[in-house]
Structure 1
Amino acid sequence: MQAAKAVQAMDWQAVCDRADLIANSGVVVWLDGDQVAVFYLPDAGEGRVLHAIDNHDPRSGANVLGRGIVGYLQGELVVAAPLYKQHYCFSDGRCLEAPEQGIRVWPVRFNGDRVEIGRV
C-alpha cells in the first residue's frame, strides 16, 4: 500500500488589478515582505499571459527584474536583467548564463480583474 501524498492548498493573495498591468512589461508588487515582478504578456503566445518572478536580481543585488526586457532566447521565454543582461526563464527561474543564479517563480492568475499570487 502506498502512502498518501499530503496535498497543500494554495493560498492566493490579491496584489493588484488588471488595470494596473502594462502589456508586454512588468510591474512590481509587494507580497509579505517580498518584491515580486508581475509580467503581463498577452502577445507571448505561450498560453499563459501572466508570469511572476522575484524582482531581486541575484547577480547585481538590485531589485530591478521588473524593468527587464522580455524576449526569447534558446527557445525560452525570458526576461533580461537590466544591469548585467543575464536571462532568467519565466518557466522555472533558471539563469541561462549561470544556473546557480536562479530566481523564484511564483504562481499567478487572474481572478476576475484581480491579479493573485499563490503561496503554498
Structure 2
Amino acid sequence: MAGRPAGERAWTPVCRYADLLPDRGAAALVGHDQVAVFRTFEGGLYAIGNRDPYSGAYVLSRGIVGSRGAEPTVASPMHKQVFSLLTGVSLDDPATAVPTYPIRVTDGTVEVGLDRAA
C-alpha cells in the first residue's frame, strides 16, 4: 500500500498568502482539526487551534491580534484571554494552552502541517 511513511508530516493547503489580511485570522479545517491561521502585520504566519478552551467555542480565528513585548498574541473574542501565537500558552493562565501547528508558504500557498501517527 502506497502512502506516507509513519511519522512524516502531511501538509494541507489552506489559502493563498496574499488572501490573509495582516493582523487578522482565518479558520481552516486541517484533517479533523479546526485551525486558526494568522498573518501578522510584519508578515509572520502562525497556526493554533481554533477552539477557545475557556468557552469551548471555535472562535480564536476571530480574535484580536497583538503582542506582549516581542511575542505575537491573539485575544479570544469571548472572554479576552490572551494566547501566544508562538507556543499556544495562555498568557493569563500558563496552565492552559491551545495546540500549535507548523505552517509554511509554498509557491504563494499557505500550508498547515499535521504529524502522521506511526
**Which residue does 1:14 correspond to in 2?**
13
**Which residue does 1:34 correspond to in 2?**
33
**Which residue does 1:101 correspond to in 2?**
96
Q: Which runs of 5+ in 1 are unaligned?
A: 1-6
Q: CA deviation at 1:21?
A: 1.3
Partner Cα separation in structure 2 for residue 60 and residue 87 of structure 1: 13
**Which residue does 2:3 correspond to in 1?**
none
Partner Cα separation in structure 2 for residue 37 and residue 109 of structure 1: 14
Percent identity (aligned): 39
Alignment: residue pair count: 110
1:32-82 deviation per Cα after TM superposition (whole angstroms, max 9, x unaligned): 1211010011426xxxx1100111000011111001111112542110111
**Any conservation in 1 of the 2:23–2:66 contact (CA below 8 Å)?**
no
**Which residue does 2:85 correspond to in 1?**
90
**Which residue does 1:71 correspond to in 2?**
66
The letter of the residue matching 1:64 is V
What stretches of structure 1 move > 3 A for 4+ residues in a row? none
Give TM-score scaled by structure 1 length: 0.83
Larger radius of gyration between Structure 1 and Structure 2: 1
Partner Cα separation in structure 2 for residue 73 and residue 27 of structure 1: 21
Partner Cα separation in structure 2 for residue 64 and residue 99 of structure 1: 20
Q: Which runs of 5+ in 2 are unaligned?
A: 1-5
Q: CA deviation at 1:8?
A: 4.1
Partner Cα separation in structure 2 for residue 115 and residue 74 of structure 1: 26
